[in-house]
A and B are shown apart, each in its own frame.
Chain A
């Protein structure tokens, strides 16, 4: 027994008060004058009686009341946990239940729920408990409740999510609950399959001192069997003027045993188009390429589904394939073989790639037509000047209407002197660089063309050597994207109307530089063309847990997100709000499958399809030792109850939790009340005797 305010015990001196009341209060201070004490003197024994206590019980009650009162003010508390348990040793229990989709492996989920129910049923009546369901996020049921029924109901109604395992948010929520708790004993029970992938997020969490974290693993030591469809790639080609798609699925066997003749099916709108058998080595990958199929005019919901194994969530991969993901490019070069030779590297670079695919049309400057220009997405004037006449005007109009024009300035790029609309400034004659030639000295990595090279080891733009170029005089308003090491412009961007013009002041072949033989040439050409074509790669699949921004989603940008006629259906065919957390146009993607978004006022227009897949990091069932996790978040080994029981709470906390003063106060009041009743009865009895 300890006391927060032991100085109050100085008031114990007040114990003399009831004693004095007993010893003195009965003795009147009035002096009784009596004629003679002759007879009184003969009875010495009785004359001493005043020093004796008449009612021992009353005295003891008064003293006890005072002692209890003083003890209550001294704010006592018990340091012994066993004793504390008697007076208020109830627990705050947080049950953390992993509902990530990996818990769907075998019967782990039901097993986990059974364990959670058992924990709830084992709670003492005064124990408070909270169920925390977690995957990559965490949410709690009714916090710190003693209502077993609501806890069990919460467990019963819980379902597996499509999220991944992250221990951090759940443990942080637990930390908050335990820190807010008034209970003297803090416990947490973590029920999970303990995947290693979720461990990183737990590093910043430290549960309150004394918390006993008990890990309960529902995984077993048997070999895992899990094949997941890790992704798909779609090759496109044109067949009979129809765009075709060739789907190649990547599969990964994350189990420790090989899998033979696994059936993998390609489904369109839930209807199987083709199925192929595949065999995978233990912990090995495989690919399956399906036969090409013709694309329709709208986005098609495609799924690749492997036969279900013990973890079914990752056995399917949903994606959409939309037609028209091809950028038409018109390359205008010099006539004859020299022109074709100059286009060689450019043509080859553009022939590679499927996302997007580039449909390259080569024309010599004397053969190009206005129709060619209108059909193009991007026009490349490779070492040629602006065609004179109607073609030149068509190109100018093409740019003004939003088209992209790439000018590669070589020896033959002669520009009409009076038509500088497409140029930021006049072009001068070729300039040579001596010796090893020049190199790029400045690159604007923030520009979409060069941003792909911004990270380390993503390409050395200083490697290409430039021996000759066409100096370009540009004004300060012109955006220079790259300069040579001598400060002259290597690449500039010029805007005309709604279109863009990129000017490359050297050639795109190997005549004036060795850029085309460099590894960065291909991505450079692709990025430049995509930029000019204002190309945005369509998103074929999103991951569960992401938030879909409709305004930025290809195909959905035209939808009015605040319109009441906007209908969003999730893969379960339930209509959901098109606004996450009150923000219109943002949709929480929580289910695996295809979300369907349409404007009901738009009639028969095709809906926008959004394919959502589970995060495949969760497919990695590699486990972490639960003790390791416990050690991280508690600073000690799991199940170390001794520390928990002996945890050093601040004396103020102990006193506040035990509230022993309250019992003492009630005891004191009880004594005083009893004393009052008794003393009144005794007084009455004496008065009756006197009468």
Chain B
């Protein structure tokens, strides 16, 4: 929840309750991330950064040139000095800020929920020494923060000032974003994916094909899932402005079925394309989503 006293502009996205839960998972998360990164980057690019990060024990395969001999002299153990660039990967969030994301039936909009999620993930990544960046888009790139070990605050600041106002489209901005990620990155796509599953995959697949690990968070409001409306009303599409008179009574069941089909299709297609898919309902607490994500990453790591 927003805390005016917090110095960091993005600190308000880190719900203390969430952080409590995240805190208890921190070790596991670090294990997962680090193991994931280690396993993923068998031949990682040499770090060009001089930012010392930490020491770690020497493991076979490590460049012996990077052994800290001074430490060896003191401890008689081989430690490898790790620098930022060397030890972490790029972590970027692709955040859909189209108009539809501003919908929320329970006080929390999907955009807000996405912000929290992105902030948490960024924070996690930042704790892992990953380079954190963000790309916001609607039907085009809105803002881009390149991944950097120092861009956590900028990322949070970017998240803070997001305004959802324009119609969205996945294809063009994501195609364009593909160009941004020349290095292998972990890409988290947060969107409500109001497009046909095939089109969604068409938009995401290039990111995956570029060698990135793509994690898809499909955020929907409970009202979008359950369609709890009662009175006949005129429904307006928030992005196109199109109005349709709707009598929700009998439409509800079919709508729910369509939404579930949509979710299933996305999940299936993502799975087929080795893209991690997580459906998040904004009525579910944020920490659940994060836990779900980390658990999923852990499982995926094992699979790999």
Report which A residues bind B (CB closer than 8 A). 26-28, 30-43, 46-50, 686, 690
Contacts and interface: CB of A to CB of B under 8 A. Distances in A.
Contacts of B255: 39-40, 43
B229 interface: yes
B232 A27 contact: yes
B254 interface: yes
Interface string B230-258: 11111111111011111101110011001
Contacts of A37: 235, 237, 240, 242, 244
B180 interface: no
Closest 9 CB pairs of A and B: A49-B247, A35-B100, A46-B251, A36-B194, A50-B232, A35-B103, A39-B258, A37-B237, A27-B232
B249 A49 contact: yes
Given A39-B258, A46-B250, 11 more contacts: A31-B235, A32-B246, A33-B235, A35-B224, A36-B238, A39-B259, A40-B251, A42-B258, A43-B255, A47-B244, A686-B230
Contacts of A42: 258
User: Which size class do B's interface residues fall under?
Assistant: 35 or more
Contacts of A50: 232, 245-247
Nearest to A36: B194
B221 interface: yes
Contacts of B251: 40, 43, 46-47, 49
Contacts of A40: 235, 244, 246, 251, 255
13 contacts: A31-B233, A32-B233, A33-B103, A35-B100, A35-B221, A36-B194, A36-B238, A37-B237, A39-B259, A46-B247, A49-B247, A49-B250, A50-B247
Nearest to A39: B258
Nearest to A50: B232
Contact of A34 (B110, B230, B236, B247): B236
Contacts of B140: none
Main secondary structure of the interface of B (DSSP, over half): mixed
Interface in B147-193: 192
B254 to A, nearest CB: 5
A59 to B, nearest CB: 15
A32 B192 contact: no
B298 interface: no
Nearest to B245: A50
B21 interface: no
A688 to B, nearest CB: 12
Contacts of B192: 35-36
B262 interface: yes
Most central of A36, A47, A686 by chain B CB within 10 Å: A36
A33 B100 CA distance: 9
Contact of A33 (B101, B236, B249, B250): B236
Contact of B230 (A33, A39, A47, A690): A690
Nearest to B221: A35
B224 A26 contact: no
A43 to B, nearest CB: 5
Given A35-B100, A35-B103, A35-B224, A46 B254 contact: yes
A38 B194 CA distance: 7
Contacts of B110: 35
B222 to A, nearest CB: 12
B231 A47 contact: no
Nearest to A52: B247
B234 A31 contact: yes
Contact of A35 (B230, B234, B238): B238
A64 to B, nearest CB: 24
B235 A34 contact: yes
Contacts of B247: 46-47, 49-50
Contacts of A32: 229, 233-236, 246
Q: Which of the listed residues A27, A30, A31, A46 has the most CB atoms from chain B within 10 Å of its own CB?
A: A46
B103 A34 contact: yes
Contacts of B195: 38
Contact of A43 (B103, B194, B254): B254
Given A46-B251, A49-B247, A50-B247, A35 B194 contact: yes
Contacts of B229: 32
Contact of B234 (A26, A27, A46, A686): A27
A50 B110 CA distance: 29
Contacts of B239: 35-36
Q: Quick one: which of B242, B246, B259 has the most chain A CB within 10 A?
A: B246
A48 B259 CA distance: 20
Contacts of A41: 244
B254 A28 contact: no
Contacts of A28: 231-234
